[in-house]
């Protein structure tokens, strides 16, 4: 079997613990982030259909909020069905950033430069 080719155009980074993706329908920890997009986990049923096309990145311990980032869903997959008594599934959603404003691009660049480590 051939190794899977990396499709991403931007280097992925692991954000500082506590970095959250947030919008009106989902909240969860950011797993990885790049200038091209991010992946995050959330609990609940497939709310990807409800995830709006505007997302915020929040790091409360550093008082950082990058708000209203335009996005589109690239993938949304089930990670875990949840425990037998809780039955709340965990999902992972991958989003692509769309046309960022110069201010959003600068904030994202600063965040990646100062609050992440490169993934190997």
What are 25-63's pLDDT values in tens digits?
788 999 999 999 999 998 877 665 666 688 999 999 999
Q: Determine the 3-state secondary structure of 93 from DSSP.
A: strand
Report how many domains make up the chain: 1
Count of other CB atoms within 10 angstroms of residue 30 = 23
Q: Which domain holds residue 55?
A: 13-112
- Chain-wide mean pLDDT for the chain? 85
Q: What is the DSSP-derived secondary structure letter of residue 26?
A: -
Collapsed DSSP state (helix, strand, coil) of residue 51: coil
What CATH number should be reported for the domain holding residue 21? 2.40.10.220
- Residue 120 lies inside a defined structural domain of this protein: no
Kind and range of the H or E run holding 55? strand 54-59
Where does the chain have alpha helices with state H? Answer: 102-115
Confidence (pTM): 0.84
């Amino acid at each position: 079997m051939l190794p899977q080719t990396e499709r991403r155009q931007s280097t992925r980074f692991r954000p500082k613990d506590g970095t959250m993706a947030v919008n009106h329908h989902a909240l969860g920890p950011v797993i990885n982030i790049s200038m091209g997009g991010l992946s995050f986990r959330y609990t609940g049923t497939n709310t990807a259909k409800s995830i709006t096309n505007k997302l915020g990145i929040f790091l409360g311990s550093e008082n950082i909020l990058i708000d209203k980032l335009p996005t589109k869903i690239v993938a949304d997959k089930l990670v875990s069905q949840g425990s037998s008594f809780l039955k709340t599934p965990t999902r992972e959603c991958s989003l692509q950033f769309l046309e960022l404003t110069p201010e959003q691009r600068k904030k994202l660049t600063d965040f990646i430069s100062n609050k992440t480590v490169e993934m190997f």
